[in-house]
Structure 1
């Protein structure tokens, strides 16, 4: 469904109008969007299918048992720098203790954080990278993110409601030249990817 022509003064109403056509149920091994997978699922690429599936199942089980939600982890990371907004977040169950890996945008820098999924505490400090050090596509996406009114946190809330589950990751993608939010939601035993186009997202020139 083409979403560019949908108009509504309400963010929630706009997204709800297009979600029915773009929720994509899929088995865990079929989720392929670069920013749409939990971090450790991407790191498992190249191993045997059986071991991959075991790792995926283990990670999803850890996510189900996590005390801290993805939205809470985002709020914790954003509070570290006043005015920061999340650009990418994913659950990582491959580390010794499950964490959310979060990248926030603040003052033309990308800040990387790990938030413990059980305690909500920051793990291992933080790292910052200037936007100019990123490749052209990532830099373009982040510059566009600063120009839109809506945040990844808004998209997570709408996606969770629409897919009736808990978000496990979220980030930015480009489709047809427009910046979209891609959210992966665990709904029962399935993962569903929800693509949301925020109003006013600029086309790449």
Structure 2
């Protein structure tokens, strides 16, 4: 998930020890430091594009869900790497996962849509998506709550399963920080 990678990149790196303590040549340390700086620049560029987006994550989900009556958003993330920033939205409809690309500036669907039958997913993903169909709360509800709780704007969201619990993981930009908010929908049955 892009958001988890973003959080990992933005978190401060530990202070590096000198070469005599680590046995690491200075040239390797310099390459690693340059790579980390480049990664931070790429993340900062993407976050700036996100801040300037006219379309919110919630709007992108609604646009994708409207493509198929009864579709449910299962995963959404901002992607600032193409020429024009987009949201990548996956919806569940009639035992298929539909993949949509929504322009973050105009709200228009970019390119076509792709569908993947649930039976082609691994058992864990299939189980999560089947559970998603049975719960009352939706990803859009989780995004709204996470944005309120973290006082910011959601940049990604999706399903995770931790310790046999199905939850929504939402990454929210609050000021210049990224915060991950985990919400367990009420009434979700535990599956092992």
* Equivalent in the alignment of 1:152: 139
1:29 aligned onto 2:16: no
Instruction: Identify unmatched segments of 5+ residues in structure 1.
Output: 1-25, 31-46
2:121 aligns with: 134
- Larger Rg belongs to: 2
Deviations 1:83-129 (A, max 9, x none): 00110000000011100000000000000000000000000110000
Alignment of 1:37-186 (within 5 A): 48-186=35-173
CA contact (8 A) 1:155 1:181 kept: yes
Q: TM-score, normalised by structure 2?
A: 0.83
Q: In 1, Cα distance between the equivalents of 2:158 and 2:103?
A: 19
Residue 177 of structure 1: how far off its partner (Å): 0.3
TM-score computed with the length of structure 1 as normaliser: 0.78
| Structure 2 residue runs without a partner (length 5+) | 1-6, 12-33
| Distance in 2 between residues matched to 1:137 and 1:95, nearest whole Å | 30
TM superposition outliers: structure 1 runs of 4+ over 2 Å: 26-30
1:115 alignment partner, SS class: strand
Query: Which residue pairs with 1:3 in the alignment?
Result: none
Aligned residues: 164
- Report the secondary structure of 1:67's partner residue: coil
**Hey, what's the Cα distance between the residues in 1 that align with 2:66 and 2:105?**
18
**Quick one: distance in 1 between partners of 2:92 and 2:8?**
31
Instruction: Please report the RMSD computed on the Cα atoms of aligned residues, expressed in angstroms.
Output: 1.3
